[in-house]
């Protein structure tokens, strides 16, 4: 028996030996803690409900995480419930605490079950914790269904897309695998790691860097060339050629108070001025405009 399992057993025994609280006694303890911050009242209230924490944590044992850790997380949720509980609402503390305990344990599972973060939304969280149960229920129905039909029913029940169900099912069906895990190769060739077989589709650095340098050079040349334009020409070129949503001749004409034909003429003249400047001062950049 390990030291950890021994500590867990002691915790469970202490929880099971704690006395049950009557409704009135529970109410009085909650009031003492809320109004006077009576630490002894809090300890009694929490100790009496640790069996509830253990029972809720046991429901999640199939996720493969240490039971002791889940109980500790549930204890955190129990303390949070005690801090937020309002005795005047005439609700049993155990009913209120159940939600905080479950939420705390589920959050711990989502953080630690996989290195890949999952359950970031309420729907994804519901999918994570209910997928196996729903799939088991469908399989017990006696009706033979393929995976697609199962995924569709689960997606409809939880309110997520079929693709989300497929991805979550694949994640739950196998544990995380390290990229540094060794893979045996042919006899005599030794072993390699999984990451050795990952192929990067991005361009090589010797291809990316020259493109970045050329892009920056073209940008500098164009910025310099724009100085030869007057204010109206610069406005038309910027709005027609240098914006993501190029303005139309009609809209620019209405904005400047001239006809669209006049806008076209000014634009044509401005582009010619830019081309002339670039060819004269930067021959390699003459094809920009």
Stated pTM of the model: 0.53
- Indicate the pLDDT class of residue 1, thresholds 50, 70 and 90: very low
How confident is the model over 200-257, as pLDDT tens digits?
778 777 778 888 888 888 888 888 888 888 999 999 988 888 888 888 999 989 988 9
Residue 118 has pLDDT above 70, yes or no: no
Convert 255-284 to b/e letters by CB count within 10 Å (16 or more is b).
Answer: eeeeeeeebeebbeebbebbbebbeeebee
Give the per-residue SS3 of 152-163: HHHHHHHCCCHH
More reliable by pLDDT, 263 or 188: 263
User: For position 278, what pLDDT does the model report?
Assistant: 84
Q: Which residues share a beta bridge with 219?
A: none
More reliable by pLDDT, 142 or 13: 13
Q: Where are the domains of the chain?
A: 3-112, 122-172, 205-285
| Ordered alpha helix ranges (H), 90-230 | 93-112, 122-139, 147-158, 162-172, 205-225
CATH, range 205-285: 1.10.10.10
Query: Picking from 45-59, 130-144, 156-170, which range would have the lowest pLDDT averaged per residue?
Result: 130-144
CATH, range 3-112: 1.20.120.1810
User: For position 114, what pLDDT does the model report?
Assistant: 67
> What share of the chain has pLDDT > 70, as a percent?
84
Residue 80 has pLDDT above 60, yes or no: yes
Asked if residues 154 and 132 have their Cβ atoms less than 8 Å apart, the reply is: no
> What share of the chain has pLDDT > 90, as a percent?
26
């Amino acid at each position: 028996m390990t030291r950890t399992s021994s500590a867990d057993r002691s915790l469970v025994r202490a929880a099971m030996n704690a006395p049950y609280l009557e409704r009135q006694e529970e109410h009085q303890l909650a009031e003492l803690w809320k109004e006077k911050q009576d630490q002894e009242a809090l300890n009694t209230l929490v100790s009496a409900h640790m069996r509830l924490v253990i029972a809720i944590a046991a429901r999640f044992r199939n996720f493969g995480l240490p039971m002791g850790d889940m109980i500790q997380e549930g204890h955190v949720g129990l303390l949070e419930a005690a801090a937020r509980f309002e005795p005047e609402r005439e609700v049993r503390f155990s009913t209120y605490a159940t939600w905080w305990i479950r939420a705390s344990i589920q959050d711990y599972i989502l953080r630690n079950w996989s290195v890949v973060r999952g359950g970031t939304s309420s729907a994804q969280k519901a999918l994570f914790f209910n997928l196996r149960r729903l799939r088991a229920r469908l399989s017990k129905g006696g009706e033979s269904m393929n995976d697609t039909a199962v995924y569709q029913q689960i997606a409809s029940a939880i309110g997520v897309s079929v693709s989300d169900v497929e991805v979550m099912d694949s994640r739950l069906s196998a544990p995380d695998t390290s990229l540094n895990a060794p893979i045996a190769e042919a006899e005599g060739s030794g072993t390699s790691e999984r990451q050795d077989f990952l192929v990067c589709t991005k361009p090589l650095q010797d291809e990316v860097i020259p493109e970045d340098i050329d892009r920056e050079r073209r940008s500098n040349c164009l910025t310099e060339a724009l100085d030869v334009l007057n204010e109206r020409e610069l406005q038309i070129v910027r709005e027609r050629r240098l914006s993501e949503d190029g303005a139309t001749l009609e809209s620019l004409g209405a904005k400047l108070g001239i006809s669209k034909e006049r806008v076209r003429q000014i634009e044509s003249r401005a582009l010619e001025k830019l081309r002339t400047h670039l060819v004269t001062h930067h021959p390699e950049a003459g094809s920009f405009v």
